């Protein structure tokens, strides 16, 4: 009873450990555990006798345990089979129990009630036997989980199509399949007073930047929170600069991205219960890199990378430049273009900047509605959006046609980034940019860009400057930033800094004849 009170009082207070020892009496144990799990309908106590002789108590949480397996592997043999020879001394030798009677791969023996409760909570089966102060916990997870699917937020045309799921084990397994080396280390820790979420820090020993790894360990171990439901909870605690639109932690659903990042000296953080894995450090140029870049021909990938850069810049600047040029500097337009714009804007009631803000606002609203609404409403939103904004507003002369074109172009461009969270930064920043351009024209746009640049150079992700390797410039690392160099050219690892160079791809592997590589 005291234990139950203990558990119910102050439920979010940090770390309450249960100090009760395991009793030798089964009835006492059942009473204790029943006390911890009072008012939990899903707790199951199953009394049984092994081979009709030794009474044991099997405790688990319904819904977390594979009951079919439990029946087949434990209960059936115990109840239906005759005792095998050599098992006469069955009086609760735990070692015997664990080694010879529980045919389950992952088992553990524990002596404290605290461990028993914890392992029951994480989906294990606890087996207590009469006359023993030890309990055996066996992993028999059987809860419902999603199958491995193609990642919805990062699709590629070529390359692996598997994505992480909500199950931590499955996720780390997927990573291990890509990096079959004992050097791939995965350290587990638990965060969250209520959720007790398992977090795994993955890195490759000998390659990882030790300082970054230390920093990640330190920052995660300091987190004090009740629940961790996604990587974002962790991200907000470990990032360097909270007051910025730019994410300093990369998140991905793809095992191949995690594997390549680990090989590039980064650290990955798996969080149980979410398909998104965090990767640090992360730089600005990440916004322009997609997994497909490495699965297509490098020349094509370079061109596409430039296309992305141009369009993402467009998404930031196009509305402001339109407003600045049309209201402050009309002489910059070609004459015929100006004539079209003037005639389209004739009779429109709002100033260009208000018009642009209005339509951008509407577009963002449409986008958000499209994202949040229940699926069947989709067609309604698109019809109303396209008709009302695209057609009726222009025909009624409330807004001008050019701004609709500008905003739709911007909208498409803002969705082109392969990293959704990076794209959000640019999407949001175009509003202040628009206000600046409405007030000061191109001068305002220039000033705002300078402020943005200053802000970006001040950012840092786990000790790595946000704009590196462009600022500060590291020539050898440019091979994967503005262009995508062919693999046989990427000799050294990025983030190497100046001190030591990690060679990952030896020279002289360029195919096609004897022209050779430099230094080969």
Q: Return residues touching other proteins (CB under 8 A).
A: 243, 326-332, 335, 338-348, 351-353, 435, 438-439, 441
- For residue 176, the minimal CB distance to other proteins (Å) is 45
- For residue 343, the minimal CB distance to other proteins (Å) is 4
- Residue 143 contacts residue 122 (beta carbons within 8 Å): no
Residue closer to other proteins by CB (options 332, 473) is 332
Residue closer to other proteins by CB (options 189, 338) is 338
* Spatial CB neighbours of 513, under 8 Å, sequence gap ≥ 6: none
Residue closer to other proteins by CB (options 350, 488) is 350
Residue closer to other proteins by CB (options 163, 441) is 441
- For residue 225, the minimal CB distance to other proteins (Å) is 21
DSSP letter string, 261-292: HHHTT-EEEEETT-S-EEEES--GGGGG--GG
CA distance 254 to 150: 9
- For residue 224, the minimal CB distance to other proteins (Å) is 21
What are residue 136's DSSP bridge partners? 109, 127
- For residue 328, the minimal CB distance to other proteins (Å) is 6
Residue closer to other proteins by CB (options 153, 340) is 340
Whole-angstrom CA distances from 225 to 135, 191, 216, 261 are 30, 7, 17, 28
Whole-angstrom CA distances from 63 to 32, 144, 407 are 22, 8, 50
Q: Hey, what are 320's tokens?
A: 């402001």
- For residue 365, the minimal CB distance to other proteins (Å) is 22
Residue closer to other proteins by CB (options 209, 326) is 326
DSSP letter string, 289-332: --GGGGTS-HHHHHHHHHHHHHHHHHHHHHHHHHHHHHHT-GGG
- For residue 438, the minimal CB distance to other proteins (Å) is 7
- Of 192, 46, 9, give the one whose Cα is nearest residue 120: 46
Residue closer to other proteins by CB (options 21, 330) is 330
Residue closer to other proteins by CB (options 94, 355) is 355
- Residue 301 contacts residue 482 (beta carbons within 8 Å): no
Length of the chain, in residues: 520
CA distance 383 to 143: 42
277-280 β-sheet, strand order:
184-191, 197-204, 267-271, 277-280, 250-252
CB atoms within 10 A of CB 365: 13
Strands in 20-94 per DSSP E: 43-50, 54-61
- Residue 60 contacts residue 120 (beta carbons within 8 Å): yes
Residue closer to other proteins by CB (options 312, 393) is 393
- For residue 389, the minimal CB distance to other proteins (Å) is 21
- For residue 317, the minimal CB distance to other proteins (Å) is 18
- Residue 266 contacts residue 281 (beta carbons within 8 Å): yes
- For residue 291, the minimal CB distance to other proteins (Å) is 37
Residue closer to other proteins by CB (options 41, 243) is 243
- For residue 162, the minimal CB distance to other proteins (Å) is 43
- For residue 443, the minimal CB distance to other proteins (Å) is 10
- Residue 271 contacts residue 234 (beta carbons within 8 Å): yes
- Of 349, 333, 356, give the one whose Cα is nearest residue 407: 356
Report the largest interatomic distance among the alpha carbons of the chain, rounded to a whole angstrom. 102
Residue carrying the six token digits 């102050």: 10
């Amino acid at each position: 009873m005291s234990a139950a009170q203990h558990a119910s009082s102050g439920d979010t207070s940090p770390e309450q450990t249960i100090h009760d020892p395991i009793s030798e009496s089964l009835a006492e144990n059942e009473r204790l555990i029943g006390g911890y799990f009072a008012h939990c309908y899903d707790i199951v106590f199953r009394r049984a006798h092994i081979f009709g002789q030794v009474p044991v108590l099997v405790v688990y949480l319904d819904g977390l345990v594979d009951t079919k397996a439990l029946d087949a592997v434990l209960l059936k043999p115990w109840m239906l089979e005759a005792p095998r020879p050599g098992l006469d001394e069955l009086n609760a030798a735990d070692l015997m129990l664990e080694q010879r009677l529980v045919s389950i791969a992952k088992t553990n023996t524990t002596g404290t009630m605290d461990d028993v409760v914890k392992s029951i909570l994480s989906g294990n089966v606890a087996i207590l036997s009469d006359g023993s102060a030890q309990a055996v916990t066996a992993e028999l997870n059987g809860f419902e989980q999603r199958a491995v699917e193609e990642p919805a937020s990062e699709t590629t045309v070529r390359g692996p199509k598997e994505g992480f799921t909500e199950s931590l084990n499955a996720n780390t397994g997927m990573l291990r399949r890509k990096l079959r080396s004992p050097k791939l280390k995965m350290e587990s820790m638990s965060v969250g007073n209520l959720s007790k979420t398992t977090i795994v820090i993955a890195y490759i020993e000998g390659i990882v930047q030790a300082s970054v790894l230390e920093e990640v360990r330190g920052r995660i171990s300091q987190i004090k929170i009740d629940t961790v439901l996604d990587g974002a909870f962790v991200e907000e605690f470990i990032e360097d600069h909270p007051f910025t639109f730019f994410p300093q932690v990369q998140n991905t659903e793809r095992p191949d991205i995690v594997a390549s990042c680990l090989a590039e000296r980064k650290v990955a953080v798996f969080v149980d219960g979410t398909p998104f894995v965090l990767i640090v450090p992360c730089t600005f140029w990440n916004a322009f890199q997609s997994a497909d870049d490495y699965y297509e021909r490098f020349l094509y990938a370079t061109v596409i990378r430039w296309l992305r850069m141009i369009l993402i810049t467009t998404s930031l600047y196009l509305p402001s430049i339109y407003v600045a040029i049309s209201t402050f500097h009309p002489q910059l337009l070609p004459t015929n273009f100006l004539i079209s714009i003037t005639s389209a804007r004739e009779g429109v009631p709002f100033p260009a900047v208000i018009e642009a803000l209005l339509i951008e606002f509407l577009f963002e609203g449409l986008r958000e509605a499209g994202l949040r609404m229940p699926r069947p409403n989709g067609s309604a939103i698109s019809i109303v959006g396209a008709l009302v904004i695209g057609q009726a507003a222009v025909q009624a002369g409330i807004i001008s046609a050019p701004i609709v074109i500008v905003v739709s172009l911007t909208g498409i461009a803002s969705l082109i980034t392969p990293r959704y969270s990076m794209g959000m930064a640019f999407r949001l920043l175009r509003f202040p940019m628009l206000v600046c351009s409405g007030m000061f024209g191109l001068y305002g746009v220039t000033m705002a860009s300078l402020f943005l640049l200053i802000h970006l150079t001040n950012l840092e992700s786990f000790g790595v400057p946000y704009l590196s390797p462009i600022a500060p410039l590291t020539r050898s690392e440019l091979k994967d930033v503005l262009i995508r160099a062919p693999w046989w050219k990427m000799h050294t690892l990025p983030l190497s800094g100046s001190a030591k160079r990690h060679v990952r791809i030896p020279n002289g592997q360029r195919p096609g004849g004897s022209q050779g590589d430099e230094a080969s």
